[in-house]
Structure 1
Amino acid sequence: MDRRSLFFGSSPLSQVHPAVWLVAVFLLAYPTFASDFFTFQIGAYSLILGTIALSLMMLAGYGGMVSLAQLTVAGFAGYLVAMLGDNSVGVMGLGWPWWVTVPVAILAAAVFAALIGFISVRTEGIYTIMITLAIAVAFFYFVRQNYDLFNGFTGFAGVAPPTFAGVYWRDPVPFYYLSLAVAGLFFIAVLYSARSTFGLSLQAIRDNPRRMRAIGFDVTLHRVAAYFLAGLIAGSGGVLMVWFNGRISPGSVGVDVAIDILVIAVVGGLRHPVGPFIGAIAFVLLENFAIDLIDHERFNTVIGLAFLLVVLFSPDGILGLWNRFAARLRFRRPARLERLEAGGAD
């Protein structure tokens, strides 16, 4: 059975698995029974982290390219929103309207991601990871030491989403639905792009780049294009992130946070676009409630142990555990029915 079949049937919406409709209804109704804290701090934050991790899933899952610079791309978009729009620190803040600032920031982030891809796609495996990690480290130190443009260690504060159609979009419920709309849009786009000509070509390049190059495909161009598309996703997540926090600083793009995105994607599962969102929910719940059980300073230890356990027992992450559980139920049920039909005892 195709790995997508547990969540989606054929492409027509009428044949979508019923579980997907249940999840969609739950997500839409979530703010009606959740408190503002759970709506904003848990729900919206999970959707934002899941969106950024989704860009990594697209690169790693479909393209075989593990990038540690996806949070860097998101941070680049966030910095541009603070610099081109409004902030409260008196540095930059050009005052551009949001409907100009946001598209420019996302597009610039996508171009930045394509440049990262142009540098890194000529390598494979650990070398790609090291190059993207080096870019993430370089960006962190660059923004921390540059005070003229990025305001150095302090960064930017007072960055808020606009009031549009009479709605202030940082209020918990509107911001949750904004995050849900962005996450849902990119989730569907990534899911169905995997079935497109480009997506199938990218997966074939992942499996055998030499053969694809031999039959005439431009392997480098496909990979760079994947980085560009992933940059659109990460950049959009970066815009939501800076609006969520109301500020951005070098700590927002640190190496530790960049690795968190990798942990989220791997723990959730890299074989399906829903995996990063599952990982994001688990990460956010641990981040918010593990402090009640252990010291906050040991949070990274808990995350590290969770990461090791998932990788050891399910290389496909939490999604892989679910697929295995569902597969067992699927194979056991026919055997049980066969025994009943034969008149055997249950």
Structure 2
Amino acid sequence: MIEAIRDAHDVMMEREPNLVVFGEDVGFFGGVFRCTKGLQKKFGSHRCFDTPISENGIVGAAVGMAAYGLRPCVEIQFSDYMYPAFDQIVSEAARLRYRSAGDFSAPMTIRMPVGGGIYGGQTHSQSPESLFAHVCGLKTVMPSNPYDSKGLLIAAIEDEDPVVFLEPKRLYNGPFDGHHDRPVVPWSSHALSEVPDGYYRVPLGKATVRREGGAVTIVTYGTMVHVALAATQESGIDAEVIDLRSLVPLDEEAIIESVRKTGRCVIVHEATRICGFGAELSAVIQESCFYHLKTPIRRVTGWDTPYPHAFEWQYFPGPGRVADEIRLALED
């Protein structure tokens, strides 16, 4: 995934002369996860450069650049660091088109690594996607594999409105389960490691079916796509796995079609349960699929606690927890 994200930057900096990339350590160092490695050397320090440790400065500068005609793609080193910039994201970037009656827009992308898996504790491991999904004017994206990472990032950079691009850290170098540091589903099992050279797009707001099935629908995104696929293997149940890819805009049609077919649904995400994005998904499904549901909608999530540094692998929904909920969803 790191290489795919780096390649998306490279492709778009070649195609779009107004694209600028900046953030803490993204220039000379290539980013803490090396997602921008080599860009400064290739395109120069005027197009890929380091900033002070000031998230509100990074995003505030990007809003001004975007309004002035540039197309910034900025990195917040960890999503946990974005809170000083939240006012700029919500009050400026998200509202610019509306408050100016269309005279200005903010074609900018804000990249953030999200989630756990590196024992980073409470200040490096949060999953704040529901905060962004709640803000009108923002688009929120979370890929689950290298192919989508490149295509979605290209689409985000080309979008005329601000996009929050969330990158699951556990997937940077391959997918892992919720119990052990080992691959769950090899990328090659569904060709998701095959990333084409050059330009291509994965459209924002379009979900995809990662596994077809008829017994129950699992709706998920990011790292949990691979955990869900592992859970179907562990349970032996014919589950359909929907990878949302974009939270906003949300592909409601794909979700509704699947749940109406199976009559059952399990929602999985790494973030805490209360007010998590799964609550919105549950509401959408309840409103549109009520008479098709055979059992209540079930959610598998992180704990409703501050992020537990020492117990993060227990905190994550793992294949075992998801498999248990799949079985419960099948009980009439």
TM-score scaled by structure 1? 0.28
Query: Which structure is richer in relative contact order (CA contacts within 8 A, separation 6 or more)?
Result: 1
Which has the greater radius of gyration? Answer: 1
TM-score scaled by structure 2? 0.29
